[in-house]
Chains A and B, each alone.
Chain A
Amino acid sequence: QKEVEQDPGPLSVPEGAIVSLNCTYSNSAFQYFMWYRQYSRKGPELLMYTYSSGNKEDGRFTAQVDKSSKYISLFIRDSQPSDSATYLCAMIYNQGGKLIFGQGTELSVKP
């Protein structure tokens, strides 16, 4: 079993839709959680960084962490074609430690 599980998709939604992306993890020792966006032929770009359970909002993006269920989510409101990319969840046990990634979910937002 992988440490971090993420549905690879692909996921296709119409412009303006709310997108929900999710990951589950097996080890409760993970403390810090991140979401990265990766455009084709580019490096991963940090979107959200959270520590505790709860919600964190940044513009159209909301990250949610539920440590009791070992479940994290990323919500994208009013999705745009420019949001089309692969979204990767990632987590670490401690700051500066190794970052463990999910498989990534490929998202396509259709105009």
Chain B
Amino acid sequence: DAGVIQSPRHEVTEMGQEVTLRCKPISGHNSLFWYRQTMMRGLELLIYFNNNVPIDDSGMPEDRFSAKMPNASFSTLKIQPSEPRDSAVYFCASTDRNYGYTFGSGTRLTVV
């Protein structure tokens, strides 16, 4: 099992550019979560999906953020336009609801 796979591992972009983060959950897991981690705020849930359907997006900070899950094996988190305050580590996690949640290695985003 390759675990939860996120890409890219690092992303440096200029303010105003579009950023797309990608996630492949563990096969058979039917729930997927996007988190953001910063020193000040810790791990914050942005949005989660059950069976590819968005359930709770109340953590999405602004309309600049959007997430999709077109199928059970792929999800994207998009920021357009990006701002320096979006700089953080973004994690994707998945679960099959029978056990704990497995996290990916994260995408470290820097917006300059």
Interface residues in chain A, defined as those with a beta carbon under 8 Å from any beta carbon in chain B: 34, 36, 41-46, 49, 88, 90, 95-96, 98-104
Q: Is the interface of A mostly helix, strand, loop or mixed?
A: loop
- The answer for the CA separation of A104 and B100 in the assembled complex, in Å, is 17
Residue pair B104, A43 in contact (C-beta under 8 Å): yes
Q: Is the interface of B mostly helix, strand, loop or mixed?
A: strand
What number of A-B contacts does a CB cutoff of 8 Å give?
Answer: 47
Interface residues in chain B, defined as those with a beta carbon under 8 Å from any beta carbon in chain A: 4, 30-31, 33, 42-43, 45, 48, 50, 56, 91, 93, 95, 97-106, 108
Residue pair B100, A49 in contact (C-beta under 8 Å): yes
Residue pair A99, B93 in contact (C-beta under 8 Å): yes
Contacts of A90 in B (CB 8 A): 101
Determine how close the nearest CB of chain B comes to the CB of A36; give it in whole angstroms. Answer: 8
- The answer for the CA separation of A23 and B45 in the assembled complex, in Å, is 19
Residue pair B33, A49 in contact (C-beta under 8 Å): no
- The answer for the CA separation of A21 and B74 in the assembled complex, in Å, is 36
**CB pairs A–B below 8 angstroms (7 shown):** A44-B91, A95-B95, A96-B97, A98-B56, A99-B101, A100-B45, A103-B42
Residue pair A101, B42 in contact (C-beta under 8 Å): yes
18 A-B pairs besides A43-B103, A99-B101 with CB distance below 8 A are A34-B101, A36-B103, A41-B108, A43-B104, A43-B106, A44-B103, A45-B103, A46-B100, A46-B102, A49-B100, A95-B98, A96-B31, A96-B50, A99-B33, A99-B93, A100-B45, A103-B42, A104-B43
